[in-house]
Structure 1
Amino acid sequence: MGVDINILTEYINSFGFYAPAIAFILFTCQAIFPVFPFIILAATGGILFGAKVGFLLAWLGALLGASIAFWCCRMWGTTKYIKLLESRYGYNFQTTDASIAFLTVILIRVFPVVPTPLINIGAALGGMSFKSFFFSSAIGKIPTAFLYTTLGLSLFNTQDLRYAFTIIGAILVLLVVGKYIVKKNTLRSLTK
């Protein structure tokens, strides 16, 4: 089931004065339960609110949603789930060094190759401090929130195709490089 960006734009815009609040709530919910891609919502934010406000809504909403998911996993996560993650991915999240966890969360937020819920769950159940999780997520979410919001703005408002293709190229480079870095670091940490 795909999400039509025009329908989403019309829906959020139909709330008039409250449209930014609705968008913020949707960004928060998307970070907890990603039923549609962040890029679609961020592009919609760019279309409706411009680059600055759209970026802030995307970034702050994603941070709030990630924080809520982190605390829910921390409160209700049990050793059963920790063992499940360990058996499924072959890695004990609880033995990760704090500085490595901080940099890892930044990397996997900057290069979105790992689903957001897995990042939140892994950090919460792995014993990462909330402060470290929050700041690494805040830093790591900046590039994608900015790129996706700007992409929406350039594709649907300015019709500047050269700029839009530059943004799309930057996103593709982020994904390819990110996948390589995450894969390389995962293999390195598993062989230690």
Structure 2
Amino acid sequence: MKKLRIRRRTAIYVTSILGVVLVSVLLYIFFLEHSAQFMQFFDPDKDKLLLMRTFRDRSPKDALLLILLTALTSAVPALSSSVICIFNGVCFGPFLGLLLNITGNTLGNSLVAGFFRKFSDEREPDHKHKRPNRLFERLAHFKNKMLALILGYMIPIIPSSLVNYFGAKSKISSKKQLLCIIIGVIPTSFLYAYGGEAIFNGNVVRLGVSILCVVVLGAAGIEFYRKHRHEKK
């Protein structure tokens, strides 16, 4: 079991470093290909309306690249996919941006969940440290593990790596965990896609409504979480 922990810790460090390097390379490629277009936004003599229209002229190659970036930034613990998800809404609009966000976040979390399943040991206790993780404990108190996973993915303050680890330890099937990931990432994916669209168009009302909807949903989820966290003792 000790060797397994060392292997897992080493694998996490190596994959995290590789993930950061790969994200940096992909970002460099993306901005290099569109550098002239980006720089035009800082030119006061350019027609801003025309620039905004041409900015939305993205290819399937760009969509694939942004999906990969979303997946990697959601998978690597040291990174956050929020900026990329907002950029998806800016580049592709609210509907396609939402699909890109859901696809990328689902792919990234699925990869991490599969990693923990591969390196998990059933004999290993849920808490490796003397001071157990309180968020893990609260997730473990849920009798319905699928609900715990959905709320874990839905609430931004809970690290997705912790939720993926909890999914591996709770012995939920990979298909059920995939369903939980998809449902759980929808609210934040919606916020970032529609928020990016609102920022792009300067639509303060849509931005406010998008934020309000997700805040209400998140608050409801947190309240439900508090009421049921001691359901299983």
Superposed CA offset, 1:107-136 (max 9, x none): 232333321111111101221110110012
Q: Confirm or deny that 1:150 pairs with 2:209.
A: no
In structure 2, the residue matched to 1:164 is: 207
User: Judging changes above 3 Å, is the alpha-carbon distance between structure 1 residues 14 and 154 closer, same or farther for their aligned structure 2 residues?
Assistant: farther
In structure 2, the residue matched to 1:184 is: 227
In our comparison, the structure showing a higher alpha carbon Rg is 2
In structure 1, the residue matched to 2:98 is: 55
User: Judging changes above 3 Å, is the alpha-carbon distance between structure 1 residues 15 and 146 closer, same or farther for their aligned structure 2 residues?
Assistant: farther
Greater relative contact order (Cα < 8 A, sep 6+): 1
Provide TM-score, normalisation by structure 1.
Answer: 0.78
Q: Is the 8 A contact 1:151 1:168 kept in 2?
A: yes
User: Judging changes above 3 Å, is the alpha-carbon distance between structure 1 residues 173 and 32 closer, same or farther for their aligned structure 2 residues?
Assistant: same
Q: Confirm or deny that 1:103 pairs with 2:147.
A: yes
Unpaired segments ≥5 residues, structure 1:
1-7
Superposed CA offset, 1:117-174 (max 9, x none): 111111012211101100121122222212211111111x211111111112223323
- What is the root-mean-square deviation of aligned Cα atoms in Å? 3.0
User: Judging changes above 3 Å, is the alpha-carbon distance between structure 1 residues 86 and 66 closer, same or farther for their aligned structure 2 residues?
Assistant: farther
In structure 2, the residue matched to 1:124 is: 168
Equivalent residue pairs, number: 180
Out of 129, 133, 137, the residue aligned to residue 181 of structure 2 is 137
Deviation at 1:96, TM superposition (A): 6.7
Out of 96, 111, 118, the residue aligned to residue 75 of structure 1 is 118
Q: Is the 8 A contact 2:139 2:229 kept in 1?
A: no
Q: Take 1:77 and 1:34, find their aligned partners in 2: how far apart are those partners?
A: 18
Greater share of helix: 1
Q: Identity rate of aligned residues, in percent?
A: 22
Q: Is the 8 A contact 1:45 1:149 kept in 2?
A: yes
User: Judging changes above 3 Å, is the alpha-carbon distance between structure 1 residues 92 and 177 closer, same or farther for their aligned structure 2 residues?
Assistant: closer
Deviation at 1:94, TM superposition (A): 8.1
